[in-house]
Structure 1
Amino acid sequence: MNKPVQECPDLDRLLRLIGILGPPTEEGNFWKYWRPGEDGYGFKKIKGCITGFTRPSHDHRWVAHDFADYVLMLFATGSPEEESKLADLIGRHISTGEPRAVGIQFLADLRSTAWNVWRDHHSPDAATVIQQWSTAPLK
């Protein structure tokens, strides 16, 4: 089912959060400095998912799920030091105020929103769950 992005408020919000980080073509953009040791892997995955929404035959549920999954994976950190560096990098690119505090809030919002998109596009709808459980035999 292909829904416009605007009909999925969390997906709309997730795309807008990615947009806060700036366009990938801007000089000195965040994407140039993000995950520098990985030869652009994260950028390619994010770009592939976002452009997937433009394909007329895209399956909205799976494209949204994959996009959220990659955001969760690619913005994860393995240590408090990595978290601090990422928050600082993000904060410096989107704020002139308190970079680390802004980056921390941004990451919390990004991850929470990505989780909502992942969850809402991952599992069957409530009616399907009710039907499955209603017809399951008692053990």
Structure 2
Amino acid sequence: MSEPTHDCPDLNRLLRLIGILGSPAESGGFWESWKTDSHGYGFKKIKAGITKFAQPQENHDSWTHDFADYVLMLFATQTPKQEEELADTVGRHITPGDPLAVGTQFLADLRATAWRVWRDHHTADPDTVIEQWTQVPYPGER
């Protein structure tokens, strides 16, 4: 097994999960529909995010935070029907078994991992939060 590309275990896990969906060059693969859907917006954002990790980065936290934010946004659904359709589509691309069950678990893992990456690369600093909250009076204390 090779060494992780980054010092961020959750980022490595997120990249591996995206890799489970197959190669972006694969004809008929999961990513093919993303190349044409909404002018390829989702595909472009995922590609830009992943290829950025191959370059030296001055602001790793900011770039990684933005990438995770896009993953969360691009794999979001608005209705239970959309969620089921996405889970089924994902599942059909990664298993010959029960696509809906596998897709549902995959999306839960992908979203939870993207959330941890987003959270852990956020600029919120505990000392700043404490300072901000201690300087604000309670309601009615002005």
Does the alignment reach a TM-score above 0.5?
yes
Q: Which runs of 4+ in 1 moved over 6 A?
A: none
Contact conserved, 2:34 with 2:41, CA < 8 A, in 1?
no
1:137 aligned residue (98, 123, 135): 135
Percent identity over the alignment?
60
- State the partner residue of 2:30: 30
C-alpha RMSD of matched pairs (Å): 2.0
Partners in 1 of 2:57 and 2:11 — Cα distance? 18
What are the ranges of 5 or more consecutive residues in structure 1 without an aligned counterpart?
none
What are the ranges of 5 or more consecutive residues in structure 2 without an aligned counterpart?
138-142
Q: C-alpha deviations, 1:8-36, integer Å up to 9, x for none?
A: 11111001000000110112110112485
Equivalent residue of 1:22, what SS? coil
Contact conserved, 1:5 with 1:11, CA < 8 A, in 2?
no
What is the correspondence of 1:1-139 to structure 2 with a 5 Å cutoff?
Answer: 5-34=5-34, 36-126=36-126, 129-130=129-130, 132=131, 136-137=134-135, 139=137
Contact conserved, 2:88 with 2:103, CA < 8 A, in 1?
yes
Superposition TM-score, scaled by structure 1 size: 0.86
TM-aligned CA deviation for residue 137 of structure 1: 3.5
Aligned residues: 134
Relative to structure 1, the CA distance from residue 58 to residue 5 in structure 2 (aligned partners, 3 Å threshold; closer, same or farther) is farther
Contact conserved, 2:64 with 2:121, CA < 8 A, in 1?
yes
Q: C-alpha deviations, 1:58-85, integer Å up to 9, x for none?
A: 4210111011000000000111111111
Superposition TM-score, scaled by structure 2 size: 0.84
| Bigger Rg, structure 1 or 2 | 2
Contact conserved, 2:88 with 2:100, CA < 8 A, in 1?
yes
